[in-house]
Every structure is written in structure tokens, then in C-alpha cells.
Amino acid sequence: MSLYESVFVGRQDLSTNQVSSIIDSLTDIIKKSSGSVEKKEYCGLRPLAYPIKKNRKGHYVLISIDTKNNKNIINDINQFFLVNEDIIRYVTLSVKKHSEEASSLYQQSKSFRESRNWDTTNG
């Protein structure tokens, strides 16, 4: 088993439906290559450390992937990120195991939404 985690940042002017569409497209690419998506976390629209391509904020998404020892999936994922103009940054890392709990980035965005009394059922 080859396990990976991929994080990407989408442009700030995307809607949540467009981000969901990107996630679905990425999931389809992984499944077509006989891989599986273990976890998907949309971490919300967050400020960037510095402007990237005139964006000061970005939609952060974390995806946990099991490639079933097919390393070509990672090449397909990276090619998808390179071609998609809505993605401004991405990184895909090999991991030993996937965490069962939510990422710290997701937990921060969730606690922020709860402190503002925002609807947490969509995130």
C-alpha cells in the first residue's frame, strides 16, 4: 500500500460548488487508476501568507489517497494540478499512515466557524 496526502489551494474567487467540482474531478482521476480516496477535508477560505497570482486568500483542501501501489496515480494528480488554472498551489506527500482524526487546519476552521455561530454542516 502506498499512502499519500495531497493539499491544494484554489483561487479565492471560486465558489464552494466549484471547489466541490474540482474535488470530484480529482476523485474520479484517482478511482479510474484503481486508487481510493480515504478522506476529503475542505478547510475553507483562508488567508495566504503572501499574495499568489493576485490572490490574498485561497480555498484549502486536503485529500488522503491510497494508490494501491500504482505510482502513476501521483503523476496523473500532479498533471491535473498543473493544467487546472483554478489551483494556485499544491503539494502531494507520501505518508506512512493516514490520520483518523481531522487535520489541524480543518479543526481550526471548524472552531472558527463555531465561534462565529456559522453553519457547520457544510464544512
Arithmetic mean of pLDDT over the chain = 84
23 lies in some domain:
yes
Tally of domains in the chain: 1
**For the segment 37-66, what is each residue's pLDDT rounded down to a tens digit?**
989 999 889 999 999 999 999 999 999 999
Domain enclosing residue 45, as ranges? 3-115
How many Å apart are CA 113 and CA 35, to the nearest integer? 33
* Residue 31 placed within a domain: yes
Backbone angles phi, psi at 20, to 5 degrees: -60, -40
For residue 81, what are the contacts with CB-CB under 8 A and spacing of at least 6? 8, 87, 90
Judge whether 22 lies within some domain.
yes
**Whose CA is closest to 70, among 4, 25, 19?**
4
Q: Does any domain span residue 14?
A: yes
Residue 123 located in a structural domain: no
Cβ contacts of 78-84, under 8 Å, gap ≥ 24: 80/25, 80/26, 80/29, 81/8, 84/22
C-alpha cell at 104: 489541524
Question: Of 58, 46, 60, 41, which Cα lies nearest the Cα of 103?
Answer: 41
Asked, for residue 34, whether it belongs to a domain, the answer is yes
Residues 6+ away with beta carbon under 8 Å from 122: 16
Whole-model pTM: value is 0.80
Residue 120 counted as domain residue: no
Q: Is a pLDDT exceeding 60 seen at residue 22?
A: yes
